[in-house]
Structure 1
């Protein structure tokens, strides 16, 4: 029997982040995952946005991990073949296995890693007993379930998964390369759907190393013939669905395998239990279209490891009342609610043809175009001011206020 304070089941994004944070805090922990190196998996392929990066930074791992990612610097936003704006970008492209392995590299050596599967868990308000596939046993004060969509262990604890929206969206990942040119004109591009009938919210192109990576999101059934077409004749299918895309990309080819991943929106029930806590997808899934999955993971793990685990370990026991405080945390519940609401609203603004939803789509187009025009005007004024003053732009009154 091995003894520890925290046993973390699952070494993906949530589990590895928790292991690194607890290890840095000097809290005894064991990470349990069958694979010494995380294997390729089509999931998160970029981190983006000030809010998401700020959540990552609260884990204390962002600066080290982002050195392994590719920062694009500027993202073009477009629709109907029209470039709406060139937006300064906080996007970092990194494949999911590279992201997880970079986080694993930050786990202090004091955190033991066990390469096995957990086959059984027995919980109580004091200590938890885990039985592993290699026959070993671990006793821990708290079990952190970070094993994603694997429901087997949760079912033994009578924690059920409820599917709120089956096949809510489908993500496609592939590489794109320009034809007849060494590179695309843009560093990154987000191209929104031209017609609701195509059932495409958007296509995003971003660099990962020297490769231009594409993530295409669709709202379709998993047996839709369109997906087979996309595998068989990808360039023709994409051009038929987004006919004005080539105004910005020029001619292109799709290279390598096309990864396809359907996503259900799922929530857990029966999780208020002593001795065990769920984080990330193990608690509730998100829609990849919205990009909020990593927000949820970083929020869950940061609140758990920075706030609750240190407080819980300061007193005896690990009863249900302690665990409930994490699930009811206002920061966590706000992030979960925001992620769920965004999943449904993004689908509606893409697909629904009611007057209000059509108006929202046009409003987004007009706002984006106006914002881009204002940005271009400000840039021209700045350049003009710099030229008039011998290369040094004078600060505006707004900047001095």
Structure 2
């Protein structure tokens, strides 16, 4: 049997980040995951926004990881064929497997990785025992369950998940290439839906390396025939749903595989137990449309590794009262509440047809238009002032008559 302080089960975003942070803090840990190299998986494909990047930076892993990502610097905002704004952005495009493997590369050598599955787990207020598929056994003071949507181990422990919104949204990923020209005019583009009847909140286009990646989000059931049409005839289906999109993008082709991933919203119950803590999607899911999933992961892991685990290890035992401090952490609970509220609000503002939601859509449109107009005026005024300054400098350097 191997002994450690922390056993991290699952090597996705939450688990790999946890292992790297614990290792950097000098806390004995073992990472358990079946894959030596994380395989391709359609999940997070970009990190964006000042707050999200700052949450990532709190883990201490952002700078090295983002070297593997593509920064676009400017994101165009458009709706119904109208360009509303060219917004400066802090948006990094990176495929999920590349993100995970970049984080794993920062796990210190003294954090051992075991490539196997956990077949059984028993917990107590003192030590936890894990049995692996390769026959090994691990004794740990604490188990961090970061195995995402895999429910087997949670059910083993009596932890259940309650679906609160089945197939809340569907994410569709594919590549776009321009037709008749070498590149698109925009560095990145967020194009909002033209009609509520299409049940599309927005299409996000952003670069990953030399590829223009597309993430299309829809509010449809997974058996909706529209999704099959999108697979069979993607350009025709997308252009029918967003007929004015080509005013911004120009002609394009969709290449490569069409990846489709539904997202259920669920919450855990029975998770307040001694010796085990759930992070990321293992605890609670959010909607990819809102873009808050990575915020939740980084918040969970940062609070757990920087605040709670050091405090827990300072005294004997791993009772439920200790674990409860993490679930009740005000920073974590605020992030969880914000994320779930945004998931429901984004859906309503995208597809609801009542007067209130129509007013909300118009208010958003006018806000984007106003910001874009103000930004253009600012750029024009700045250019004029620079031209006047340059002209004045030239005149002052001219020889007098």
Aligning the two structures, in what range does the TM-score lie when normalised by the shorter sequence?
over 0.9
- Quote the residue 1:398 is aligned against: none
- Quote the residue 2:399 is aligned against: none
Q: TM-score, normalized by length of structure 2?
A: 0.97
- Quote the residue 1:295 is aligned against: 295
Residue by residue over 1:298-357, the C-alpha shift from the partner in whole angstroms, topping out at 9 and shown as x without a partner, is 000000000000010000000000000000000000000000000000000011100000
- Quote the residue 2:263 is aligned against: 263
**How many angstroms apart in 1 are the aligned matches of 2:282 and 2:114?**
20
* Residue segments in structure 1 that go unaligned for 5+ positions in a row: 394-401
CA separation of 1:392 and 1:362: change in aligned 2, threshold 3 A = farther
**How many angstroms apart in 2 are the aligned matches of 1:285 and 1:228?**
26
Secondary structure, aligned partner of 1:107: coil
What does 1:222-233 correspond to in 2, within 5 Å? Answer: 222-233=222-233
**How many angstroms apart in 1 are the aligned matches of 2:341 and 2:90?**
24
Alignment of 1:365 with 2:365, yes or no, is yes
Secondary structure, aligned partner of 1:381: helix
What does 1:169-248 correspond to in 2, within 5 Å? Answer: 169-248=169-248
**How many angstroms apart in 1 are the aligned matches of 2:113 and 2:268?**
27
Secondary structure, aligned partner of 1:285: coil
Residue by residue over 1:161-215, the C-alpha shift from the partner in whole angstroms, topping out at 9 and shown as x without a partner, is 1100000000000000000000000000000001100000000000000000000
**How many angstroms apart in 1 are the aligned matches of 2:380 and 2:47?**
31
- Quote the residue 1:79 is aligned against: 79
**How many angstroms apart in 2 are the aligned matches of 1:20 and 1:361?**
42
**How many angstroms apart in 2 are the aligned matches of 1:367 and 1:156?**
50
- Quote the residue 2:44 is aligned against: 44
Secondary structure, aligned partner of 1:390: helix
- Quote the residue 2:70 is aligned against: 70
Alignment of 1:326 with 2:294, yes or no, is no
- Preserved contact between residue 8 and residue 15 of structure 1 (Cα < 8 Å): yes
**How many angstroms apart in 1 are the aligned matches of 2:295 and 2:91?**
14
- Quote the residue 2:280 is aligned against: 280
- Quote the residue 1:16 is aligned against: 16
CA separation of 1:256 and 1:122: change in aligned 2, threshold 3 A = same
How big is the alpha-carbon RMSD for the aligned residues of Structure 1 and Structure 2?
0.9
Secondary structure, aligned partner of 1:222: coil
- Quote the residue 2:95 is aligned against: 95
CA separation of 1:161 and 1:392: change in aligned 2, threshold 3 A = farther
Secondary structure, aligned partner of 1:68: coil
- Quote the residue 2:165 is aligned against: 165
Secondary structure, aligned partner of 1:155: helix
Secondary structure, aligned partner of 1:308: helix
Give the C-alpha shift of residue 220 in structure 1: 0.4
**How many angstroms apart in 1 are the aligned matches of 2:198 and 2:378?**
36
CA separation of 1:235 and 1:312: change in aligned 2, threshold 3 A = same
Give the length in aligned residue pairs: 393
Give the C-alpha shift of residue 392 in structure 1: 10
What does 1:1-12 correspond to in 2, within 5 Å? Answer: 1-12=1-12
Q: TM-score, normalized by length of structure 1?
A: 0.97
Secondary structure, aligned partner of 2:92: strand
* Residue segments in structure 2 that go unaligned for 5+ positions in a row: 394-401
- Quote the residue 1:397 is aligned against: none
Give the C-alpha shift of residue 249 in structure 1: 0.4
Give the C-alpha shift of residue 390 in structure 1: 1.3
- Preserved contact between residue 81 and residue 244 of structure 1 (Cα < 8 Å): yes
Secondary structure, aligned partner of 1:175: strand
**How many angstroms apart in 1 are the aligned matches of 2:320 and 2:228?**
48
CA separation of 1:391 and 1:221: change in aligned 2, threshold 3 A = farther
- Deviating above 2 A after TM superposition, structure 1's stretches of 4 or more consecutive aligned residues are none
CA separation of 1:2 and 1:392: change in aligned 2, threshold 3 A = farther
Residue by residue over 1:46-68, the C-alpha shift from the partner in whole angstroms, topping out at 9 and shown as x without a partner, is 00000000000000000000000
Give the C-alpha shift of residue 391 in structure 1: 7.8
CA separation of 1:86 and 1:391: change in aligned 2, threshold 3 A = farther
- Quote the residue 2:146 is aligned against: 146
- Preserved contact between residue 386 and residue 392 of structure 1 (Cα < 8 Å): no
**How many angstroms apart in 1 are the aligned matches of 2:34 and 2:272?**
27
